[in-house]
Amino acid sequence: MRMLLIAGGWSSEREVSLSGARKIEQALLALGHEVRFLDPATQFADIVPAASQVDFAFINLHGSPGEDGLIQALLEMANCPYQGAGPTASFLALNKAATKSVYARFGLATPAWRLYCGIAGEEHACDLPYPLFVKPNTGGSSLGMSLVRESAEFGPALDKVFALGQEALVETCVSGVELTCAVLDQTPLPVIMIRPKSGSAFFDYENKYAADGAEEICPAPIDPKLAAEVQRMALAAHRALGISGYSRSDFMAGENGPQLLETNTLPGMTPTSLLPRAAATVGLSFEDLVSELVRLGLKTHAQRTGS
């Protein structure tokens, strides 16, 4: 097939996007496809014309545009199939506050949270107990995130997020084990345990993408009942948000059980990313995973268009 590989973009996760795109391009070529690369940061006006001339678009964008549903909406305008969530599910999942509202609507446990928008006169105090996490509401890869242990640190952590042009999502810190679980089609993949490297307070950017980053264990060495509950919740979040194809949800599992942190509609596809690792555990090579995502994208397009 003629493939349009869309990656890069202008978010703070641009380099992560490009790194994954290189591996995806290799896989698509190995599968016998023709590949045209397009970067919205420099070729935005070309998206619709290019999508009208290919058989499928593979999106590997993080943040906006891409995870906000904009690219998906343009591709649908061009009647071009693509993998993963549609515009509405993408928009909801990228916005952490909106995601948590959906979790609550469907009875899925998530840490207590507040949203701060940096508007004039907004009170910079928090009624949640410390420690807290302060993070960009629509960011990823843990960029701009702070662990706040006392009230004196709260204002600077908010300012750090506001300096990125973002509103801030504040949530209580849950002590326990960090877990993540991907869903492929309607099947949860094995749970992964994440152990940040020594000296790291949380699973930050370096832990995620450095060669000597966090230890990621798959399948996670946890109680089977806990693993099953995490898988159930990951699939429930996938369905509640209206996601198609694939997703990956992140959790903290403490004494009160697992709690959902967020759901990703375009999980990372770099050599160190979590989704490919979970897929490999069930026998799917990287090429197999890419091929399956294309198949699911074509299936979703057929259902959406009635073709």
Catalytic residue among 209, 216, 246, 247: 209
Catalytic residue among 9, 13, 95, 171: 13
Query: CA 267, CA 269: separation in Å to the nearest integer?
Result: 6
- Catalytic site includes residue 304: no
Catalytic residue among 25, 76, 171, 262: 262
What element of type H or E holds 181?
Answer: strand 177-184
Query: CA 218, CA 231: separation in Å to the nearest integer?
Result: 13
Whose structure tokens read 């207590």? 112
- Catalytic site includes residue 105: no
Catalytic residue among 141, 142, 146, 247: 141
The amino acid sitting at 159 is D
Query: CA 106, CA 236: separation in Å to the nearest integer?
Result: 8
**Which candidate, 145, 159, 136, places its Cα nearest to that of 67?**
136
- Catalytic site includes residue 25: no
- Catalytic site includes residue 209: yes
- Catalytic site includes residue 121: no
Query: CA 297, CA 303: separation in Å to the nearest integer?
Result: 10
Q: 155: which residues sit within 8 A by CB, 6+ positions away?
A: 124
For residues 196 and 206, the answer to whether their CB atoms sit within 8 Å is no
Catalytic residue among 250, 273, 277, 297: 250
- Catalytic site includes residue 141: yes
- Catalytic site includes residue 250: yes
Catalytic residue among 213, 264, 277, 297: 264
Catalytic residue among 268, 273, 277, 297: 268
- Catalytic site includes residue 262: yes
Residue 131: cis peptide before it, omega within 30 degrees of 0 = yes
Catalytic residue among 171, 178, 216, 248: 248
Active site residues: 13, 141, 209, 248, 250, 262, 264, 268
